Chain A
Amino acid sequence: MVRKLRLTVPAAFGYLMLAGFVGVSLLPFWVAIKTAITQPGDVFQTASSIAPGELTFGNFTRVLGLPSSVELTSVRASPINFALSLRNSLIYTALTVAGQLFFSSLAAYAFARLKFPGRNLMFYGFLASTMIPAIVLFIPNFILIKDLGLINTFAGMVAPTVLMTPFAVFFMRQFFLSAPRELDEAAKLEGASAFQIFWRIALPIQAGPMATLAILLSINSWNEFFWPFLVGRGEDVRVMAVALSDFMSQTSQRTPDWSGLMAALTLSILPVIALLFVFGRQIVESLQSSGMK
């Protein structure tokens, strides 16, 4: 039995430390949000305080390229249309996640359930590729995408990750390994094709793990920076992370447009916060188990 906790002095100190951790973790989120809802003219006076200045939603409309009350009263328009970048992030994320989910689970199923010469070698090859630093691959991959004329296209941006990521393959393989095989066998006797068994039987059983994987992959793709930064700088394909970085280098170094930046940045983290609210348990539990073999 776990001993009943009394509020001893060490325990009180422990709770205080936990509260401190949570406070430090959440404070920057609040700073971003409160700056996003502050009039640009008030940012300087309110920057060192926890409270926002005079409230406005004008910064959001301003960075989305919509007519804005702030624009009339204050400094500048946004040099970057973040509505377009949000759209680009959505397209990029949807393409990579859909591709990885389908092709990686197809491969994971084969690795877990089918026997073929070279299977283990191939699987260990996938496993070993996680050790390669991304930058080693980025240089030749950049040259390849450039030679193919795919710079500043979604095709070039999603190409390296759409067919598989080692993580997605391992994740799904574990679940296919431990799933019951009786249904597969029965379907095989009924004359179902291998793809039908995969698509109609093996995959639907894994709806839960698939959903978790989809959430994790979506967060990853949404946050991806380096590769899109190398091959997707054009306005029509530029994702949020890259647009935020460009916005910062385009506003004046002396007086950056902090309220505009924080408004755009808040828009970019809202989908992730929403996922955490709805699927918090799945996200926590799947990240938690990622360290266990």
Chain B
Amino acid sequence: MTDRHRSPLSGTSRTASGTSRAARKWREALTGYAFVAPAFVGFAVFYLLPTVRAMQISLTDWNLLRAPRFVGLANFERLLHDDKFWHSCEVTLAYVLYNIPLQTALGLALAVLSDRLARSVILRALIISPYLISNVVSGLIWLFMLDPLLGLTNAWLVAVGLPHQPFLASPDQAIISVAGISIWRHTGLTALLFYAGLQSIPKHLYEAARLEGAGEWLMFRRITLPLLRPVMAFVLVTTIIGSFQVFDVIAVTTSGGPADASRVILWFIYENAFQFNKMGYASAVSILLFLVLILITLVQMRLLRADQSDLD
């Protein structure tokens, strides 16, 4: 920086003083484009174009070996009659329903508890530690802990007199178990987001309520919960979008099984695209998923009035 101060008046400053406002604006714009250029190339090549390409591919029959054949909306029509597709929708929905309410409730409880009892950053670091390790690692550790034969979980269940459970190995419990693993990994982050939201609620509201003789539960319902609404909206929108795209844990624990019990929508797309080479069909499902997620997000934003705060 210091050598810049000593630099002699060079070409740049002469032009800067001699040129018009328009020329300076033009220079700034050129600089802006140059700075954004690499990121824009990344955006265009790996986000924008592939989105358009995915839509094009969804209208074709394409196995990567022969040239794609345009089939119009045939892939989407086929979907309507594909039982495996509908089954994967059901499984995904079940996963979301097991996962989201429990994770949100636990996260909220954890946030309120740590806000009221222990505000140490160390506690919060411990609580988010599961979120910092990958889905793959979480899935593999729990695969071991939920093992029907030698898992710790079953040993403890039996020790307290409960029956032995098959967990991931059974069609009835596979998707619940996968949801449980996700809850373990994700609750800490949800709690952390709620905790941040709690910090923005003015303390005088609670003091006033206490003077009026309000108890903890009443204050939670009448002050905390309504004022957390924007954070709640953010948490719900992001966790629901994420849940519809669950893949990693399933890839390392059940591979969609047993008996298709955990073949979620992403596993269905993955199989079609990368195992059966049905690029057109897989893209059609992915585009449909995209549209459904946009719809769900818009509905949620509307219901939760996500953009408004009650504080003003």
A residues engaging B (CB < 8 A)? Answer: 1-3, 5, 10-11, 14-15, 17-18, 21-22, 24-26, 28-29, 31-32, 35, 43-44, 47-50, 103-104, 106-107, 109-111, 114-117, 119, 122, 125-126, 129, 131-144, 146, 159-164, 169, 187-194, 196, 198, 200-201, 219, 222-226, 229-230, 241, 244-245, 248, 258, 261-262, 265, 268-269, 272-273, 275-276, 280-281, 283-285, 287-292
CB within 8 Å for A17 and B283 given contacts A190-B4, A193-B12, A291-B235: no
Assess the A137–B39 pair: CB atoms within 8 A.
no
Within B163-211, which residues are at the interface with A (CB < 8 Å)? 184, 187-189, 192-193, 195-197, 200, 203, 207, 210
Please give me the residue from chain A that is nearest to B272 by CB atom: A139
Size of B's binding interface in residues, CB under 8 A: 114
Would you give the shortest CB distance from B36 to chain A, in whole angstroms? Answer: 5
For B36, give its contact among A111, A138, A288 (CB under 8 Å): A111
7 residue pairs, one from A and one from B, having the closest CB atoms = A163-B42, A48-B155, A116-B32, A223-B134, A107-B39, A47-B150, A110-B35
Contacts of B39 in A (CB 8 A): 103-104, 106-107, 126, 163-164, 169
Assess the B251–A107 pair: CB atoms within 8 A.
no
CB within 8 Å for A201 and B1 given contacts A28-B184, A104-B39, A164-B39: yes
Query: Can you name 10 A-B residue pairings with CB atoms under 8 Å?
Result: A22-B123, A28-B142, A107-B38, A160-B46, A163-B46, A190-B5, A191-B10, A223-B135, A272-B132, A287-B128
Cα of A284 to Cα of B39 in the assembled complex, Å? 28
Cα of A169 to Cα of B34 in the assembled complex, Å? 15
A interface secondary structure, majority: helix
For B144, give its contact among A3, A258, A275 (CB under 8 Å): A258
Contacts of A196 in B (CB 8 A): 4
> A140-B54, A161-B42, A287-B131 provided; 18 other pairs, C-beta below 8 A?
A18-B123, A104-B39, A107-B40, A115-B29, A116-B29, A116-B31, A116-B36, A122-B36, A135-B247, A139-B286, A144-B50, A189-B13, A190-B4, A223-B137, A224-B134, A244-B137, A287-B189, A291-B234
For A288, give its contact among B141, B196, B294 (CB under 8 Å): B196
Cα of A190 to Cα of B3 in the assembled complex, Å? 10
B109 lies within 8 A of chain A by Cβ: yes
Would you give the shortest CB distance from B271 to chain A, in whole angstroms? Answer: 12
B70 lies within 8 A of chain A by Cβ: no
CB within 8 Å for A291 and B123 given contacts A139-B57, A143-B64: no
Would you give the shortest CB distance from A82 to chain B, in whole angstroms? Answer: 13
Assess the A276–B129 pair: CB atoms within 8 A.
yes
Cα of A188 to Cα of B31 in the assembled complex, Å? 13
